[in-house]
Structure 1
Amino acid sequence: MGGAVVTTLASLLYPAMLGVQKVNTAQDRVIATPATGALTEADRDFVVKVRAAALWEYPVGRMTLQKSRTKAVKTAGERLIDGVASLDAACRHAAGLLDITLPNQSSPQQQSFVFQLNAESGERFDRDMVTLVRAANGQILSTIANVRTTTRNSLIRALADRANDTVLEHITVMEKTGLVDFDQVVVQETTAPELPARDLTPPPPVAGQPQVVLPSPANSAASPSPSAGR
């Protein structure tokens, strides 16, 4: 990226809140002015959301390959791992260029999805997995569209384009299983969660903690590993 990134103190602060409970009045506030275009709170929160989504969907994809005995569901798990690993790499790259601090864990709510699925098996696991992932991707799709049409930063636009393609693919592959509970999807996508902000926000990384890297599909048998880089 050409030119130095000019930041303010606010750009280094971890987002206080994400999701539907985010205070909308602050979203268009410019927090940094890199050469790629002004960066707003909405832009920064979007990058963190993409990262948080990857951190729970990736282990769910791996879990699916182990638990499911249904070919279509296993295929969905494979595509989930593939897309998430690739998108997360792009997310970490953009965050490094824009000096955005990324979490190493998903939000408590997202972690609860992983715990729930880990306790399930058989057809119940298959149905709940595709429904949860389908609903979550439906929710973030509207966020992607909003950020893509309002951001003034070219790196954020490129990440939004990539996220849009990945999310649409995941939505499609989940639906192709024939197991999505669309009634539940509508409820999850349209009902604001009655949860405190801390449950909707991924925790900031521990100071000095290496960044967790999600292995590429070619090495998906490996566990997520820390990286010495940002």
Structure 2
Amino acid sequence: MRSRYFVTGTSLLIGSVVVTLGVIMSPVLTGVQQENQANLAKTSSTQYGPLTGADRDFVVKVRLAGLWEFPVGELALKKGTAAPVKTAGEHLVVGHAQLDAAVRDIAPKLGVTLPNKPTPQQQGFLDTLTAATGKDFDSQMAQILRITHGQIFSSIAKIRATSKNTLVRQLATQANTVVLDHITQMENTGMVDYEALPGQITSTPTQGPNFTKPVMPRPGEPMVVLKAPTSLAGKGEAPTPSPPAPVDDAPGASGSPATPGATSSPSAP
């Protein structure tokens, strides 16, 4: 049965809608919204630095990403037919559990309210993958997650580069590492259709104004916690970025004191 959110096939025409790359890069799906005058007007002061509307939007959307991608990872572990798909599932579960813990830690410090449910659009993606089976699940998961992660990747970099809030920059740094890892895992499945990526956007012509709007929790509603099972301990970790190589302040300076009478030799490759 075809979902109204996602149509199977190599073209992956969502609701028969295909748009240009310029529209894809707009924040229709999960990307962080560009700063505008309305966002800038919402800037508030915190002990961690100014907090703009774009900063708040980013914190909420990191939470939203986990609320649907974490269960997709669980689906991949249960229904994936290929080993790389199951491995991608491990990374989705572990990565978003770590990001969710970070978001739940900083949100109250910044006065940001977090949602407990994905947006209707994100729930549509999750419903589509819940209904898919076999190799159809494998291919749809790889393509949908590659599209969504690809869309938000550049937006994370913008927040990291522009935010003046220490906690938001830390979250953006962590999110950048996790999202890049998830992009890599989707590509490692060998099921990503690169030719179709530039022309794809996952929305439908029937979407309403609340299609991508977060659903905020009711007063007193318990917070949903995304926690990786103990069975995944030591698995699904994003690679730790390598620290930059040390740079000597003085040109030609040696990394260690010279020894009298010693001759230098080139380092081994």
Q: Give me the TM-score of the superposition, normalised by structure 2.
A: 0.70
Which residue number corresponds to residue 181 of structure 1? 193
Give the counterpart of 2:216 among 204, 207, 217.
Answer: 204
Which 5+ residue runs of structure 2 have no aligned equivalent? Answer: 1-25, 233-269
Instruction: Tell me by how many angstroms 1:207 deviates.
Output: 1.5
Cα shift readout 1:175-201 (whole Å, capped 9, x = no counterpart) = 011001223432335x88753330011
Instruction: Tell me by how many angstroms 1:104 deviates.
Output: 0.2
Structure 1 residues 149 and 193: alpha-carbon distance in aligned structure 2, compared to 1, 3 A threshold: farther
Which residue number corresponds to residue 125 of structure 2? 113
Matched, 1:64 2:76: yes
Which residue number corresponds to residue 160 of structure 1? 172
Which residue number corresponds to residue 225 of structure 2? 213
Which residue number corresponds to residue 15 of structure 1? none
Matched, 1:135 2:135: no
Cα shift readout 1:6-62 (whole Å, capped 9, x = no counterpart) = xxxxxxxxxxxx944968332223432011100000000000110000000000000
Matched, 1:39 2:47: no
Structure 1 residues 177 and 158: alpha-carbon distance in aligned structure 2, compared to 1, 3 A threshold: same
Q: Aligned pairs, how many?
A: 202
Which residue number corresponds to residue 13 of structure 1? none
SS for the counterpart of 1:198 is: coil
Amino acid at match of 1:96: P
Aligned mates of 1:187, 1:91 — CA distance in 2: 32
Give the counterpart of 1:104 among 94, 113, 116.
Answer: 116
SS for the counterpart of 2:200 is: helix
Structure 1 residues 219 and 209: alpha-carbon distance in aligned structure 2, compared to 1, 3 A threshold: farther
Aligned mates of 1:217, 1:28 — CA distance in 2: 40
Which residue number corresponds to residue 125 of structure 1? 137
CA contact (8 A) 1:90 1:159 kept: yes
Instruction: Tell me by how many angstroms 1:170 deviates.
Output: 0.3
Cα shift readout 1:156-188 (whole Å, capped 9, x = no counterpart) = 000000000000000001101100122343233
Structure 1 residues 108 and 78: alpha-carbon distance in aligned structure 2, compared to 1, 3 A threshold: same
Which residue number corresponds to residue 74 of structure 1? 86
Amino acid at match of 1:76: A
Cα shift readout 1:130-165 (whole Å, capped 9, x = no counterpart) = 111111111111211111111110000000000000
More strand by share: 1
Answer 1 or 2: higher relative contact order, Cα 8 Å, separation at least 6. Answer: 2
Which 5+ residue runs of structure 1 have no aligned equivalent? Answer: 1-17, 221-230
More helix by share: 1
Q: Give me the TM-score of the superposition, normalised by structure 1.
A: 0.82
Cα shift readout 1:68-121 (whole Å, capped 9, x = no counterpart) = 121111001011101010011101111121110000001100000000011111
Percent identical residues: 46
Amino acid at match of 1:169: D
